[in-house]
Chains A and B, each alone.
Chain A
Amino acid sequence: MSRWTRRNLLRGTLRGSAVAVSLPFLDLFLDGNGEALANGLPLPTRFGTWFWGCGVNTSRWFPSKLGAGYDLKDELRPIAPWQDKVTVFSNFNCVLDGRPNLVHWSGVMATLSGAAPLKGGVNGGTSELPTIDCLVADYMGQSTRFRSLELACTGQSGVSYSMRAGSTVNPSEVDPVQLYRRLFGPGFQDPNKAEFTPDPAVMLRKSVLSSVKDDRDELMRTAGAADRQRLEQYFTSVRQVEQQLEHMLEKPAPAEACQLAKEPGAMALGPTWDVATRTHDVMAQLLVMALACNQTRVFNIALSNAGSNLRKPGDPVSFHELTHEEPVDEKLGYQPRATFFIERSMETFASLLKHMDGIREGSGTLLDNSLILATSESNFAKIHSVDNLPILVAGRGGGRWKSGQHISGNGDPSSRVGLTIQQVIGMPVNAWGQGAMEVTRPITEVMA
């Protein structure tokens, strides 16, 4: 085995304060092949979603060639350095089957929850089933401090496409400073610190939550049926925070790639393009460290809401408005001002891949050990089309996902992608989704 070295692979600047993550996941913790921990457990898989609003231009985004070595069109070109780690899906649809096409809502919920929603629109809505990140977090998020992290880049905590069934979204962190404090503030325990003493204050906090559960029976007896469900979710949240505290009472497993970042400086938040992408960049770096430090294995990032309010500074019209109002340029064949945002969205996604691919883990990188489902709510936002939704999966799922292909679904429900991800992660799921979106056939081409 190679000697271990410490290298600074990821270096970013958070408003003046340098963030340096010194890397490699120490080989001495790995077995001889670099694919599993010395105790025989495989390296953990991470799962995330990455959402951008207002879709794509079909002819400029989707490759023409199927299979490996697909061609990159203009709008997907930013992912070129990671093409062999990115799978492109085309012709996977939101199958409405009589349900309404709720503009800027149906498409994303169909892909992420496996069900076409019944209520909602450009300002959000309800979900018939939990979104895939919740299911994955239930399966593999229990052993980390946070079951999942939700991040949004335009300053609005309600921008989130992570939901249990119902109308409550899992709210997003929007401020890098708050995110930093939540991750690396007083509750953080450095996994690589030699000594460990459980904090009695944490034990007391755990007793507090455990005591709150005494309220459950009486409340369940008196509440109406719909409210019982909401209370059930409430107590599930109590149990989850209790588990978080339990993790803080145990000595964390070492994670050599983990290094503490400095707190980022306060920054402006909002939907103008430069502000939102700067927010994305700082939060992405914090997220990568959270993953490297085993604070979570599941995450959701929303670059913007689905009716995207991203905007160039000084421009009166937002991305969403542009998609509907800007005429298609006859020479170019697309809407140039709206397309700016599509191309830049893909660059922003590529920047996340870059950060993740910069963390070495075993014989590969953090990106190799992840699956990131990136999607939008429309194909062509101008007409709210939900056929041929743009879907990418980045990463190799620890070697269990055959990456780097372009696969056509021939009009199948987009929930097949989510079913495949769940099966590759190892979840015992044979069927997923609801109504016309319910599927039983995974996409075997990507299963290693």
Chain B
Amino acid sequence: MRLFAKAGPRLRAASVIALATSVAITAFAPSSASPVESQAIAPQASVREPAIAPAEAGLRRLNEVQYARAIEQTFGPGLKIPGRFEPPLREHGLLAIGAAHVTVTPTGLEQYELRGRQIAADAVAGGHVAMPCAPKDGTFSANCARNVLGRYGRMLYRRPLKDGELSSVVALTQAGTQASGSFAKGLAAGLSRLLVSPNFIFRVERNGGPGQIDDWSLATRISFLLWDAPPDEALLDAVARGDLADKARRAAVIERMIASPRFEQGVRAFFFDMFGYEQFQGLVKDQAIYPKFSNDLVKDAQEQTLRTLVSLLIVNKGDYRDIFTTRQTFLNRNLAALYRVPAPTAAMDGWAPFTFPTTEPRAGILSLAAFLMLDPTHEGKSSPTIRGKTVRELLLCQPVPAPPPNVNFSIVQDDSNPLYQTARQRLLAHQESPACAGCHRVTDPIGLSLENYDATGGYRTHEKTALIDASGTFDGKPYSGLLGLTALLRESPDVTSCLVQRVFEYALGREARALDADWLNQANARFSAQGNRVPELMRLIASSDAIAATRPATTATAASSSSPDQAALTSLYRRAR
């Protein structure tokens, strides 16, 4: 079984630097459990689930997509979601962690108010609100209001409303009915009130039994993990029946959720986050340099990789590591043109499955346009440093330190200098500076070996007139070109442990800490023993004790000093840097 260094996952920051100075850390013994054919990772009664670092229940802001899904699940399809959302925040590698640190600004609230008002009015007017009762025109019925608001409130808050909460909304509905002379308008005011509440806009987690969040909060965690959406009515009913409190019944609930078509959207949402796809928003490449670049190509590139992942990981229940080597993907016209391959007939007006022949330089998601173009900081060229950093940070969970502030870049690049025609030549000159070398030795060899692919994903053999040298070393092993790299990545234990760490963090809304190491080690072993199947990993985490674990909220004074765990981690992290 693969062992983390004792201090936990963060220590891998140190291993990156160690590698940079060519001291390979190879404390990782190969898995002792032999891979078995696909079967559920049943929590083995004999092996206890290790404890995780204690953390308070969270408060996570819904993102734009989650907000829209909540509206659709509650009121049915077809409602417009107006207004602008506040920008997401990426922290510790995930938007899901940033969402636990952001709040709502006055400008943002202005938009939530506008949005809630519009949605509520449209929902009531457009028959999206089921009315079991119909008070006479202009009159108010408290029973009717309680009934309707109680039902929709439960869906929006992802738990039943408390008496006081419901009374507050009903009172507002009454005032609104009286002011407007219309029960429908009063009801719309009540619904908009629910939509502006932090109980809707945030996923508010609450403590339940000792050391655990309550079942409503747990259902919400599981639902956003598996579906990237709030619990539906069936799941809320299951919680009300106590299904989550019983191990076997909880397993059945999770089974149903993984079998649902929503599971695909959940897996897509996870990889969207893990792979940094929010950066596609507004991504621009210079069309004068890359004539094939267009906003459509940006959408197509994302969609291609997500389709490839869904097909491999969910439909075919494949091994996660194969995402680096698979030649099976999907194409449409735009992408066929970019890759310069004949488009299958079915791709003339849509997506068609496609297998790259072995003569093509394309295998695995790193060779697809989404990865190759996703660099919002360079619009007219590829950046080996950014690509290398992306592989290290997003796929291997190895943080790369920020550049030192006093770097003198004057030696980096004078792209008119005939001596330094390729990025490799320019970056090698840069690496001669010791202040720069440490990090660039971590990022650049990976990125430079991808230089046969330009900033939109087109294939090339030369930069200017010089032949591109795509050789590299990874974990001390020499290779050539992207396909050489991805073959090595497939075998790297960091690839699978990074995925496990990210799903864990994504589910819990916080970064992995030193005290999580035992838990992550066990999850890694199980993931590997089971053949690295992503649905099984999702199931493992959704079924775990860890996803429900919490500790009591700290008092205001105690919270100002960070926990010893965090303090230890911070010092480790600093040292690693």
- Residues of A participating in the B interface, judged by any CB pair closer than 8 Å: 100-103, 121, 147, 150, 155-158, 164, 166-171, 178, 182, 200, 203-205, 207-209, 211-212, 214-215, 218-219, 222-228, 230-231, 233-234, 236-238, 240-241, 244, 270-271, 307, 309, 311, 313-318, 320-321, 324-328, 382-384
Contacts and interface: CB of A to CB of B under 8 A. Distances in A.
Contacts of B403: 103
B56 A227 contact: yes
B553 A234 contact: no
Contacts of B378: 316, 318, 321
A382 B410 contact: yes
B61 to A, nearest CB: 9
A384 to B, nearest CB: 4
A215 B204 CA distance: 12
A204 B555 contact: no
Interface stretch (B106-114, B323-331, B343-351, B511-519): B106-114
B207 interface: yes
A204 B192 CA distance: 11
Contacts of B89: 167-168
Contacts of A327: 410, 414
A382 B409 contact: yes
A314 B288 contact: yes
Contacts of B199: 215, 219
B381 to A, nearest CB: 5
A231 B556 CA distance: 14
Given A222-B206, A225-B554, A156 B414 contact: no
B286 A324 contact: no
A208 B188 CA distance: 10
A223 B553 contact: yes
A227 B288 contact: no
A166 B103 CA distance: 9
A224 B113 contact: no
A211 B168 contact: yes
Most buried by B among A156, A209, A227, A307: A227
B555 A225 contact: yes
Given A225-B553, A382-B408, A200 B179 contact: yes
B140 to A, nearest CB: 14
A147 B106 contact: yes
A67 to B, nearest CB: 33
B553 A307 contact: no
A214 B166 CA distance: 11
B179 A150 contact: no
A314 to B, nearest CB: 4
B21 interface: no
A209 B286 contact: no
A16 B86 CA distance: 31
B282 interface: yes
B284 A271 contact: yes
Contact of A100 (B105, B169, B405, B553): B405
B125 interface: no
Given A168-B101, A325-B415, A383-B405, 8 more contacts: A121-B402, A171-B86, A203-B179, A211-B193, A215-B165, A215-B199, A317-B380, A321-B377
A307 B139 CA distance: 59
9 contacts: A147-B106, A207-B176, A215-B199, A218-B162, A223-B57, A225-B559, A230-B102, A237-B109, A326-B414
Contacts of B56: 224, 226-227
B176 A204 contact: yes
B180 A204 contact: yes
Contact of A219 (B198, B289, B402, B560): B198
Nearest to B405: A101
B103 A383 contact: no
A204 B179 contact: yes
A310 B284 CA distance: 12
Contact of A237 (B105, B169, B176, B284): B105
Nearest to A124: B89
Interface of B: 56-59, 84, 86-87, 89, 91, 98, 101-110, 113, 117, 162, 164-165, 168-169, 171-172, 175-176, 179-180, 185, 189, 192-193, 196-199, 202, 204, 206-207, 282, 284, 286, 288-289, 376-381, 402-403, 405-410, 412-415, 553-556, 558-560
A324 B559 CA distance: 41
A203 B197 CA distance: 18
A238 B558 contact: no
Contacts of A164: 105
The 5 closest A-B CB pairs, nearest first, are A316-B380, A225-B559, A158-B87, A224-B56, A101-B405
B180 A225 contact: no
B204 A225 contact: no
Contact of A313 (B103, B189, B288): B288
Contacts of A311: 286, 379-380
B173 to A, nearest CB: 10
B412 A324 contact: yes
Nearest to A224: B56
Contacts of A316: 286, 289, 378-381
Contacts of B107: 150, 170-171
A170 B102 CA distance: 11
B166 to A, nearest CB: 11
Nearest to A311: B379
A85 to B, nearest CB: 29
A211 B169 contact: yes
Nearest to A316: B380
B84 A178 contact: yes
A365 B256 CA distance: 68
B10 to A, nearest CB: 16
B84 A157 contact: yes
Given A103-B402, A382-B408, A384-B407, A226 B559 contact: yes
B560 A225 contact: yes
Contact of B86 (A168, A240, A315): A168
Contacts of A223: 57, 59, 204, 553
A160 B429 CA distance: 35
Nearest to A104: B405
Contacts of B113: 205, 208-209, 241
A31 B560 CA distance: 53
A286 to B, nearest CB: 16
A222 B56 CA distance: 10
A303 B398 CA distance: 34
Contacts of B91: 167
B198 A233 contact: no
B286 A314 contact: yes
B515 to A, nearest CB: 18
A157 B202 CA distance: 21
B575 to A, nearest CB: 15
A208 B109 contact: no
Nearest to B577: A100
A136 to B, nearest CB: 14
A160 to B, nearest CB: 9
A271 B380 CA distance: 13
Contacts of A244: 110
B103 A225 contact: no
A172 to B, nearest CB: 9
A228 B553 CA distance: 10
Nearest to A245: B113
A231 B106 CA distance: 13
A200 B84 contact: no
Contact of B105 (A170, A205, A219, A324): A170
